[in-house]
Structure 1
Amino acid sequence: MRETDLEDGMGDGVTATAVREPAVRGPRRPRAARRTVAVLGTGVFAIGTDMFVVAGVLGGIATDLGVSVGGAGLTVTVFALTYAVGAVLLAPLLSVRPPRHVLVVSATAFAVLNVSAALAPALPALLAARALGALAASAYVPAASASAAAVVPASHRGRALGTIVGCMSAATVLGAPAGVLLASMLSWRAAFALPAVLAASVAGLLLTRDEPRPPECGERPASGGEAPRPGCAGHRAPQPLPPRRRQPRPRPVLRHRPLLPYRDPEQGPRRRAAVRAPLRPLGSPAVAATLVVTFLLMTASYSTYTYLPQLLAEAAVPLGSGLFIAVFGLAGTAGTRWGGSVADRRGPGRVVGPALVVSAAAFAVLPHTAATTVGAAVAVAGWGAAVWGFVPAQQHRLIGLGTVAPPLLLALHSGAVHLGSAAGSLLGGLVVDAAGAARLWTLAVVCCGAAWVVHTVLVRTALVRKEKRS
């Protein structure tokens, strides 16, 4: 893969060939671009595996390191919280760097830090490795998405981005169960070694990718809109522009020499405005209420998901908790399609309300079905479909508010998701240590109830405003 292919992906969009191409239906992507997207998606798959596999090995971590299950759950809390902060802070800082460098360095660092987590002798070392690994992951995922969109023609960008997102969801179906199975055969440390091997392979492939072959003379370009390459018939060499005459700049007249260096009085306000800009949408009550609903449901979901093996310990199945994690991922994949399609046809409110009710019912029923494999699988499937279907509906609602640009709203929503996961794993750990995993449903149901109240107030407020306008 050429370095310039990735470097153009995170620039300003002026020099990137893929950005200049018209968004029309064209021929299939060239093989080199498809392979590049596959390599980038493998890195996202490794990160997703690392995020979701920890829930299945908390018992082994607690036993080996001599801590409680709630203390071991801090590995999920630290990772989610650091990832949320890193996604907000690292994106603007690394946007000026070549994406190829960002991808290689972040994938390599992620692999090394996962090896450090696998070799951690105590909980503090494991938490430090998890925090630094989350920073590397938060740098890789945005760069991978932008690079995947840049190396393909404009007519295939949606499919390339869909591949990146699909690799994250596939980690819940394939990666996390495989890691849990590997940990059951060897040790919990093997669950961290699996993402490390995948990330190291991605870093090596990104470094050794061959430069894609340009189309031969007379061959139709793969992107459908490129001009003939130099040396072929029909190629027109660019004509040099005439030199521009530089106008002499007038020399400033200094009447006195200042004793102190000049300081722009507007520099401080400009910096404060730049820091407040990402948080400006929170001034809208509708945006803030929508993000609160997301935070509460994710708190409920991760308070149960993080300690799912402890909750379903009585349901003896061949693959252990890995089977229920796979069921959760499969149901989530179907729920994502359901939530997006219903939100498009009937509005996001038709998804959010039922998702909250189904999630609360699943959390309340799950402890009573924990002893049976079929009953637990049904409850986990309903919960997974509801929670994953909830996410695109909330994104749809935020974009429909139209207060600021959609990318900023979606970034805030991603932050609410990860903050909810951090809060859920932390509060769930406290409940497990104090009252046992069987009492997790109370925390989850209370959070779902609070989210339903905020959602109901938000919908009624929107209806009142609509009636006043009409």
Structure 2
Amino acid sequence: MPLALLALAIGAFGIGTTEFVIMGLLPQVGGDLGVSVPTAGFLVTGYALGVTIGAPIMTVLGTRISRKNMLMLLMGLFILGNLISAVAPVFAVMLIGRVVASLAHGAFFGIGSVVAAELVAPEKKAGAISMMFTGLTVANVVGVPLGTFVGQHAGWRVTFLIVAALGVLGLVGVAKLVPDVPKPAGVQLRHEVAAFKDTQVILAMAMTVLGFGGVFAATTYIAPMMTGVAGFAESSVTWLMVVFGLGMVTGNLVGGRFADRKLMPLLYTALGGLALVLLLFAFLASGKAASVVAIFLIGALGFATVPPLQKRVLDHAHGAPTLASAANIGAFNLGNALSAWLGGLVISAGLGYAAPNAVGAVLAAAALALAALSHRLERRRSRTATAPGPVAAPDQDAAPAAAGAVRS
């Protein structure tokens, strides 16, 4: 794999760390800035919404410059946002810093996916995309636990300074290792927007929203679920998130390995397996061993869909994939926000902390249904394109004329 993929993975590692580390530091941040933990939770919501909105906006703003330069600008924006968060004197400034950092998230992964795919042969595209997303998944195994530990012992501001330093490392890596490949000639914004006319692009994004809605329906409420239902100690939540992160890494690597050759079978397996595990988890969350296995499988099955869905968007975007790719990253966070809201509804209705797992199972099953629909439409289009055209009927007037010509 090209070294440029390492630079993209480093940037992804920093972005993944800053996205998720805040969840373990909300009490410290809230206490220091004088707000309640629920109010501090807007730092999570604000980031997710910033990714969803910022992904297409930042991509559109970058249509006139090269992808390498845009990646460097996005890392600069990421560094700035984390520095603002690190020195924020009040909660409002901290929230601004989170939103600024989030604006880089979707566009970086969207543009980075396109760049990664262009760095390798066509049959290795999904593997290259998977390599970049490895940075995001490893962040949940290494970056988030370490960032939480540092924040709890040295102060949360130190954590965000370290994350900003990771952004500097990613910026230098992009500058030194990513080739400055020019954008395809003649591709303009209207071509990027036109990609959304393709039904397969829309279906892939819908699968992303629903599939990852299933994942985050379970993980958003994992702390109260594991302590209040399974009976784990609060200190165990950190290593349970490490288990989830290990599942993410495993699923992402498996997805990258098989998506280039068996994309649709992989999606069927991952989404079907995810729906089944979440359904069982709704009834087995009280068991500690079952919970550990389920948490790993949810991470693995959920992130096994990342390379194939991202590749599917790229394949169907008709030579102008950047905006669609970035919008699909926003779809991941839209699924996060949707599942958190739905999970909160069932908990508020008195159904218990394990109930969001059932919500996740329904969302994953809906994504599986969309995968079947997408595959069926694709095969129908393929049959239509390869079907032979109608055979022209013989010209009734020409035949007698030809015969007369022979006789004469």
TM-score by length of 1: 0.64
Query: Contact (CA 8 Å) 1:296, 1:420: kept in 2 or not?
Result: yes
Q: 2:237 aligns with which of 321, 340, 361?
A: 321
- Label 1:455 to 1:202 Cα distance change in 2 as closer, same or farther (>3 A): closer
The structure whose Rg is larger is 1
Task: Give yes or no for contact 1:40–1:144 (8 Å, CA) kept in 2.
Answer: yes
Whole-Å Cα distance in 1 between the matches of residues 242 and 52 of structure 2? Answer: 25
Alignment of 1:384-399 (within 5 A): 384-399=299-314
1:457 and 2:384 are equivalent in the alignment? no
Please give the secondary structure, in 2, of the residue aligned with 1:312.
Answer: helix
| CA–CA separation in structure 1 for the residues paired with 2:96 and 2:347 | 23
Distance verdict in 2 for CA 1:433–1:68, change over 3 Å: farther
Q: Would you say the 8 A contact 1:303–1:440 is kept in 2?
A: yes
| Superposition map of 1:64-463 within 5 A | 67=36, 69=38, 73-94=41-62, 96=65, 102=73, 105-116=76-87, 121-122=90-91, 126-137=94-105, 164-182=132-150, 185-186=152-153, 190=156, 193-200=158-165, 202-203=167-168, 276-314=190-228, 315-316=231-232, 319-345=235-261, 347-401=262-316, 403-435=318-350, 436-463=352-379
Structure 1 CA distance, aligned partners of 2:317 and 2:104? 32
Q: Secondary structure of the equivalent of 2:14?
A: helix
CA distance, structure 2, for counterparts of residue 99 and residue 293 of structure 1: 28
Secondary structure of the 2:371 match is helix
- Distance in structure 2 (CA, Å) of the matches to 1:146 and 1:47: 18
Q: What is the DSSP-based 3-state SS (H/G/I as helix, E as strand, rest coil) of the residue aligned with 1:437?
A: coil
Determine if contact 1:363/1:445 at 8 Å carries over to the other structure: yes
Structure 2 vs 1, CA of residues 385 and 204 (structure 1 numbering), >3 Å: closer, same or farther? closer
Is the CA contact 2:79–2:101 (under 8 Å) kept in the aligned structure 1? no
Shift of 1:275: 5.8
Distance across 1 between alignment mates of 2:103 and 2:283: 39
State the distance in 1 between where 2:319 and 2:111 align.
23
Deviations 1:52-71 (A, max 9, x none): 223444576678866575x6
Mark the CA change 1:140 to 1:288 in structure 2 (over 3 Å): closer, same or farther. closer
Mapped partners of 1:171, 1:440: distance in 2: 25
Shift of 1:362: 2.3
The residue type paired with residue 387 of structure 1 is: G
1:197-228 deviation line (CA, Å, top 9, x unaligned) = 23146538978xxx99xxxxxxxxxx9xxxxx
Gaps of 5+ in 1: 1-24, 213-222, 224-272
2:109–2:326 CA contact under 8 A, matched in 1:
no
Structure 1 position 386, deviation (Å)? 0.8
**Amino acid aligned to 1:452:** L
Q: Is the 8 A contact 1:76 1:306 kept in 2?
A: no
Write out per-residue CA displacement over residues 172-201 of structure 1, whole angstroms, 9 at most, x where no aligned residue.
Answer: 110112233445x449x62x6414323146
How far has the Cα of 1:387 moved from its partner? 0.7
SS in 2 for 1:316: coil
1:225-257 CA-to-partner distances (Å, cap 9, x unmatched) read: xxxxxxxxxxxxxxxxxxxxxxxxxxxxxxxxx
Q: 1:149 to 1:107 in 2, by over 3 A?
A: farther
Q: Is there any run of 5+ residues in structure 2 with no aligned partner, and where?
A: 180-186, 388-408
The residue that corresponds to 1:48 in the other structure is 16
Change (3 A) 1:127 1:310: farther
> Does the 8 Å CA contact 2:150/2:158 hold for their aligned counterparts?
no
Q: 1:323 to 1:137 in 2, by over 3 A?
A: same
Tell whether the 8 Å contact from 1:59 to 1:310 is kept in structure 2 after alignment: no
Describe the superposition over 1:135-178 as per-residue Cα deviations: whole angstroms up to 9, x where unpaired. 2545766788899999x9x9xxx999876543222101101122
8 Å Cα contact 1:53/1:179 also seen in 2 = yes
One-letter amino acid of the structure 1 residue matched with residue 277 of structure 2: A
Instruction: Supply the AA of the counterpart residue of 2:368.
Output: W
Displacement of 1:38 in angstroms is 6.8
1:459, distance to aligned residue in structure 2 (A) = 2.5
Displacement of 1:441 in angstroms is 1.9
Give the aligned partner of residue 21 of structure 1. none
Shift in Å at residue 84 of structure 1? Answer: 3.0
Change beyond 3 A, Cα 1:289–1:74? same
**How many equivalent pairs are there?**
368
Q: Is the 8 A contact 1:306 1:425 kept in 2?
A: yes
Q: Is the 8 A contact 2:195 2:320 kept in 1?
A: no
Q: Which moved more, 1:367-376 or 1:386-395?
A: 367-376
Question: Do the aligned partners of 1:40 and 1:164 also contact (CA within 8 Å) in 2?
Answer: yes
Looking at structure 1, the residues matched to 60 and 165 of structure 2 have their Cα atoms a distance apart, in angstroms, of 25
Identity of aligned residues (%): 25
What is the RMSD of the two structures over their aligned residues, measured on CA atoms?
Answer: 4.4
Deviation track 1:408-427 (CA, whole Å, cap 9, x = no partner) reads: 44333223223222333344
Report if aligned partners of 2:52, 2:334 keep a CA contact under 8 Å in 1: yes
SS of 2:227's partner is coil
- Report the structure, 1 or 2, having the larger helix content: 2
1:99 Cα deviation after fit: 6.3
Residues 446, 62 of structure 1: CA spacing in aligned structure 2 closer, same or farther, 3 A cutoff? farther
Distance of 2:113 and 2:313 partners within structure 1? 21
Letter of the structure 2 residue corresponding to residue 128 of structure 1? I
C-alpha distance in structure 1 between counterparts of 2:112 and 2:308, whole Å: 24
